[in-house]
């Protein structure tokens, strides 16, 4: 078990593993779980949440500011769980507006996202957040949800963006910076952030280990193919996706190439999962 560091660490020499170390500190009771993959990169997720809605939150601790990427389902407070009262600004970046990524976004003051979904962050319409799927999934928050939580009452809190970002914009944490990359296809406003120095990509739902979803309102297979070509051209060592464990840059390229090959073979039927 790795000794944990409580202050921000930015050791450029530290290896970034894809397996990580389970962090045994309890987050807000036992609702959230977390794994640290690097001294300054932590994955936080909700193990009890239904697998369809179990997204990753990433905490990146910088010298002058922290970056939090994606915000879970919103079953219980993420800011309480993060407990980031460390005298630094916290920048909150949503990779896209889907329900499993924006549940607790409203808890943050500085909210970044792509302009093409800005109107949805303001109103959180079911059509684009897919929140209605939570209301019809009795075990959306697991077999034993927190007291008082009922799937049929589920509502996303509006979280208007305070800063609209576009491809090429820079998010500066003092000792490291990230470039915003627009990765449309899964949704129109899907973005990732790239640390070019350390070759790290936080990719949201544009790519991860698993079947990629391209049949939602706002999805575009043609855009997705373009995004895959762009990912294949990127110099990336580790990819921290919107779901599951990190993957290597090589694995990312294989998944991207597989998507393109499927589509070019005529399999252009967009895919959405059935929830069961």
Give the interface with Zn ion as residue ranges (CB under 5 A).
Answer: 55, 98, 100, 205, 242
Smallest distance, Å, CB 30 to Zn ion?
Answer: 22
**Between residues 52 and 59, which has the closer beta carbon with respect to Zn ion?**
52
Smallest distance, Å, CB 97 to Zn ion?
Answer: 8
Smallest distance, Å, CB 99 to Zn ion?
Answer: 8
The torsion defined by the Cα of 90, 93, 97 and 99, in degrees rounded to 10, comes to -50
Q: Note whether 104 and 72 are within 8 A (CB).
A: yes
Query: Rounded to the nearest 5 degrees, what angle is found at the Cα of 231, between the Cα atoms of 14 and 201?
Result: 30
Supply 219's token pair. 């999805």
DSSP label at residue 52: G
**Between residues 53 and 178, which has the closer beta carbon with respect to Zn ion?**
53
Smallest distance, Å, CB 108 to Zn ion?
Answer: 18
Helix (H, G, I), strand (E, B) or coil at 202: strand
**Between residues 173 and 180, which has the closer beta carbon with respect to Zn ion?**
180
**Between residues 34 and 98, which has the closer beta carbon with respect to Zn ion?**
98
User: What DSSP line would sit under 116-173, residue for residue?
Assistant: GGHHHHHH--HHHH-HHHHHT-TTTT-SSPPTT--GGG--PPP---SEEE-TT-EEE-
Smallest distance, Å, CB 149 to Zn ion?
Answer: 20
Beta strands 177-182; 170-172: pairing state: antiparallel
**Between residues 39 and 142, which has the closer beta carbon with respect to Zn ion?**
142
Smallest distance, Å, CB 131 to Zn ion?
Answer: 12
User: What DSSP line would sit under 93-124, residue for residue?
Assistant: E-S---HHHHTTGGG-SEEEEEGGGHHHHHH-
**Between residues 40 and 102, which has the closer beta carbon with respect to Zn ion?**
102
Q: Which residue is nearest to Zn ion (CB)?
A: 98
Which residue(s) pair with 68 in the sheet?
59, 92
């Amino acid at each position: 078990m790795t000794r944990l560091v409580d202050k921000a660490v930015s050791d450029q020499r530290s290896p970034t593993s894809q397996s990580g170390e389970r962090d045994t500190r309890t987050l807000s009771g036992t609702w959230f779980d977390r794994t640290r993959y690097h001294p300054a990169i932590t994955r936080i997720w909700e193990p009890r949440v239904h697998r369809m809605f179990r997204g990753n939150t990433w905490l990146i601790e910088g010298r002058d500011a922290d970056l939090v990427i994606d915000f879970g389902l919103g079953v219980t407070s993420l800011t309480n769980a993060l407990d980031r009262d460390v005298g630094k600004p916290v920048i909150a970046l949503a990779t896209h507006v889907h329900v499993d990524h924006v549940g607790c976004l409203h808890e943050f003051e500085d909210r970044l996202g792509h302009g093409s979904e800005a109107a949805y962050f303001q109103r959180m319409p079911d059509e684009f957040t897919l929140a209605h799927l939570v209301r019809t999934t009795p075990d959306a928050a697991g077999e034993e949800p927190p007291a008082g939580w009922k799937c049929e009452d589920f509502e996303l809190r509006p979280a208007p963006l305070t800063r609209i970002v576009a491809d090429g914009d820079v998010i500066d944490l003092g000792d490291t910076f990230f470039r915003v990359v627009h990765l449309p296809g899964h949704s129109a406003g899907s973005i990732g952030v790239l640390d070019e120095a350390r070759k790290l990509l936080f990719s949201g739902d544009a790519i991860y280990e698993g079947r990629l979803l391209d049949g939602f309102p706002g999805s575009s297979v043609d855009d997705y193919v373009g995004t895959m070509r762009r990912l294949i051209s990127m110099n990336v060592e580790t990819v921290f996706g919107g779901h599951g464990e990190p993957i290597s840059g090589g694995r990312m390229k294989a998944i991207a190439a597989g998507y393109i090959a499927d589509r070019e073979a005529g399999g252009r039927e967009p895919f959405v999962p059935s929830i069961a």
